Amino acid sequence: IFTDPLTPCGQIIALHFSVPTVFFLRGVPCAIDVHAAQCPDPPSYIPRMFSLNTDHMTFPQRVKNFLISLSESFTCSIVFSPFESLASDFLQKPMTITQLLSHGSIWLKRLDFVFDYPMPVMPNMIFIGGINCGQKK
């Protein structure tokens, strides 16, 4: 199933029918995609989305980045709780959003390290960041 992980209904159906999933995304808030794929994600080194930090952070910026990552996990647990309860009811077993997305086969990420910072990724994450770029004149 070709689906978007932001609304994981396609992933719930894929798990129910035991078919592979291909995710197409730019980025998921709270780095759920990174955690689901089991990529290393140290908050003291990788800048959080909307933090305006660079990859060279001072100690106060690293603390700010860490606090942002804590607040993201709390906020996203509230936002994704309806999907967790839907998945748990439909699949008849308790599921978190990270467990649900961890069954993705391939992650097509619309990222480009020219615009974003390099980060460690798993082999099933494929960067297709140039597909939205226009031809340079």
Give per-residue pLDDT as tens, 47-104: 777 677 777 888 988 888 888 888 888 888 898 899 999 999 999 999 999 899 999 9
Taking the C-alpha atoms of residue 78 and residue 35, their distance in angstroms, rounded to an integer, is: 17
Q: For residues 136 and 38, which has the higher predicted lDDT (pLDDT)?
A: 38
In a domain, 134, yes or no: no
CA angle in degrees (0–180, nearest 5) for 88-67-126: 60
pLDDT of residue 92: 93
> In the chain, what's the furthest Cα-to-Cα distance?
55
In a domain, 14, yes or no: yes
Provide the residue type at 134 as one letter: G
In a domain, 25, yes or no: yes
In a domain, 136, yes or no: no
Q: What is the residue range of 33's domain?
A: 2-127
- Strand-pairing partners, residue 127, are 109
In a domain, 35, yes or no: yes
Q: Count structural domains, the chain.
A: 1
Average pLDDT, the chain: 84
| Residue for token pair 């460690």 | 120
SS3 127: strand
In a domain, 137, yes or no: no
In a domain, 69, yes or no: yes
Taking the C-alpha atoms of residue 56 and residue 129, their distance in angstroms, rounded to an integer, is: 23
